[in-house]
Amino acid sequence: MRVSLGAGVILATLLSLALYLFGILSATQAVAAFLLLNGVWILVFGVSLAQGRDRLYYSGWGVVMASISTFAVLPLQYVLGVVVVAVILVAVAGMITRPKKV
């Protein structure tokens, strides 16, 4: 059985929606859970299932998405700082791993 990125994203979305509808999470917590679950799934997909150069792309943006989910527990200025640092790290990692042209 082949696992795709879309299947995990759909599962994470439905799980956070179900937790909200059952009253386990508030609306803010459900959005944070949506971002965290999808970010973690994209990170796992990037590390284990993506092909070639796409691994870094998916892994990096999974970390960025998961870091956005911290808005539910951290002040907004810290969340924005964490997201900016994550984006910078993704850009630097992309530049470092880019093949050199001769």
DSSP for residue 52? T
Instruction: Return the residue matching tokens 């917590």.
Output: 29
pLDDT, tens digit (0-9, with 9 covering 90-100), for 40-76: 999 999 888 888 778 888 999 999 999 999 999 999 9
Domain locations along the chain: 5-97
Query: Contact 20/30 with Cβ under 8 angstroms?
Result: yes
- Would you tell me how many other CB atoms lie within 10 Å of the CB of residue 100? 4
Distant-in-sequence, close-in-space partners of 19: CB < 8 Å, separation ≥ 6 = 25, 30, 33
| pLDDT, position 91 | 87
